[in-house]
Amino acid sequence: MHTTEVLIIGAGAAGLFCAIQAGYRGRKVRVIDHARKPGKKILMAGGGRCNFTNREVLPKHFRCSNPHFVISALKRFSSQDFIDLVERHAIDYHERDWGQLFCDHSSKDLLDALLTECEWAGVELQMNTEIHAVETLPEGGYRVQASGGAINCESLVIATGGLSFPNAGATDLGLRIARQFGLPCIRTHAALVPFTLQPRELEQLKPLAGIAVPARIRCGGAQFRENLLFTHRGISGPVVLQASNYWQPGQPIEIDLLPQLDLADWLKQQRQQKPRSALRTLLAQLLPKRLLQALESLGQLQALDETAAQLSDRRIEALQQALGQWRLVPSGTEGYRTAEVTLGGVDTHAISSKTFEAHSAPGLYFIGEVLDVTGWLGGYNLQWAWASGYCAGQYV
């Protein structure tokens, strides 16, 4: 039988960060995890360069059925606070579009810094540990039955993350523990994930696999403008991943393939300047020819052999609609196998936004992605892990 003051299940971003804060407060902290090594998703993040935060992090960058929940933690631990840590460890980083911050070399630099902080804070890391059961102790506190033996603690922190990438060790343990203690959970879906297409669209669009175009997608009341990538299974790329956070099965998405242009104005100009040019030739200046062919086969574009002079104003409007409001109904998503995050999770109405303790279970805390808080693509999910871990770390 082991005893510790703070026991954290999950040695990922949120768990490690919470452990560091609690350790610096002088708490005896142990982190347990079934994986062989800590921080697997930190290593995978940002294609191995870890998009660790964003210059601008606001509540609007998150989905949560209790939207005010995130405000306090994001204020108490800002992206600048995390940047300060990165700079203290002399990790080189750079900024990409939309304020996204990435390591120059490798995510490993960041994980090493966190593990160094864990060491300085006296945190004990216990990997390769299966969790069998969680029980309350009559005198207060919790007992976790685990493969290395039972562990008693005063504060138990659940930082088991979301359901995406089961190959990287993701499980629903956190949700099961929440339910065991009577906490409500919001239904989960794969998010930040590519869309799959219906057979008819897939047949025409599959040959475009590998082609990327700038696009705007409107979906579920949100809209994003970034690159869209055609794949063998459907569509992906940053704009699709962002839209997937707002998509419900069966819903259409609306794609603008020329977000940078007023197509109607442009076509009217061409009608004057190049009246004899075929529409096909004109549109090929704006979009890949193979994409135009696919749109033609799908019936989305018609009569591309007309000349510019033949285009009526009504026809120009119809073309603007065809390319600016292309409605597609995805057949689904690629699911948790390739999703970066999980929508839904432990209902934050049941959790204190100040301490991250469950209202109905004193000493039991939930942080990070296991909660019903899902960020946009761009470093927001890790910032949520750091911020929620930091805040809980002050109270556990």
Ligand X SMILES: Cc1cc2nc3c(=O)[nH]c(=O)nc-3n(C[C@H](O)[C@H](O)[C@H](O)COP(=O)(O)OP(=O)(O)OC[C@H]3O[C@@H](n4cnc5c(N)ncnc54)[C@H](O)[C@@H]3O)c2cc1C
Residue 300 C-beta: closest distance to ligand X, Å: 32
Reference 50, options 4, 82, 20; nearest CA is 82
If one asks whether residue 83 binds ligand X (CB under 6 A), the answer comes out as no
Q: Count Cβ atoms below 10 Å from residue 120 Cβ, excluding itself.
A: 11
Residues 361 and 255: their CA atoms lie apart, in Å, by 46
Could you say which of 69, 93, 142, 165 contacts ligand X (CB under 6 A)?
165
Query: What stretch of H or E contains 102?
Result: strand 100-103
If one asks whether residue 131 binds ligand X (CB under 6 A), the answer comes out as yes
If one asks whether residue 45 binds ligand X (CB under 6 A), the answer comes out as yes
Q: Which C-beta is closer to ligand X: that of 157 or that of 311?
A: 157
Residues 243 and 196: their CA atoms lie apart, in Å, by 13
DSSP class of 371? B
If one asks whether residue 379 binds ligand X (CB under 6 A), the answer comes out as yes
If one asks whether residue 238 binds ligand X (CB under 6 A), the answer comes out as no
If one asks whether residue 117 binds ligand X (CB under 6 A), the answer comes out as no
If one asks whether residue 31 binds ligand X (CB under 6 A), the answer comes out as no
If one asks whether residue 13 binds ligand X (CB under 6 A), the answer comes out as yes
Q: Count Cβ atoms below 10 Å from residue 268 Cβ, excluding itself.
A: 15
Could you say which of 7, 8, 10, 190 contacts ligand X (CB under 6 A)?
10
**How far is residue 370 from each of residues 140, 188, 354, measured CA to CA in Å?**
24, 10, 17
Q: Which stretch binds ligand X (CB under 6 A): 40-48, 232-240, 275-283, 325-333?
A: 40-48
- Dihedral pair phi/psi, residue 25, rounded to 5°: -80, 0
Residue 209 C-beta: closest distance to ligand X, Å: 20
If one asks whether residue 51 binds ligand X (CB under 6 A), the answer comes out as yes
DSSP class of 101? E
Q: Which x/- pattern, by CB under 6 A, does the window 312-351 give for ligand X? A: ----------------------------xx----------
Could you say which of 46, 234, 237, 344 contacts ligand X (CB under 6 A)?
46
Residues 48 and 177: their CA atoms lie apart, in Å, by 31
Judged by CB under 6 A, the chain residues 354 through 373 that form the site for ligand X are 368-370
Reference 3, options 26, 29, 23; nearest CA is 29
**Degrees, nearest 5: CA angle 159-363-355:** 70
Could you say which of 30, 34, 63, 189 contacts ligand X (CB under 6 A)?
34
Q: Count Cβ atoms below 10 Å from residue 180 Cβ, excluding itself.
A: 14
If one asks whether residue 19 binds ligand X (CB under 6 A), the answer comes out as no
Residue 74 tokens, joined: 């994001």
State the residues that interact with ligand X by CB under 6 A: 9-15, 33-35, 40-41, 44-46, 50-51, 131, 159-161, 164-165, 169-171, 173, 340-341, 368-370, 379-382, 385
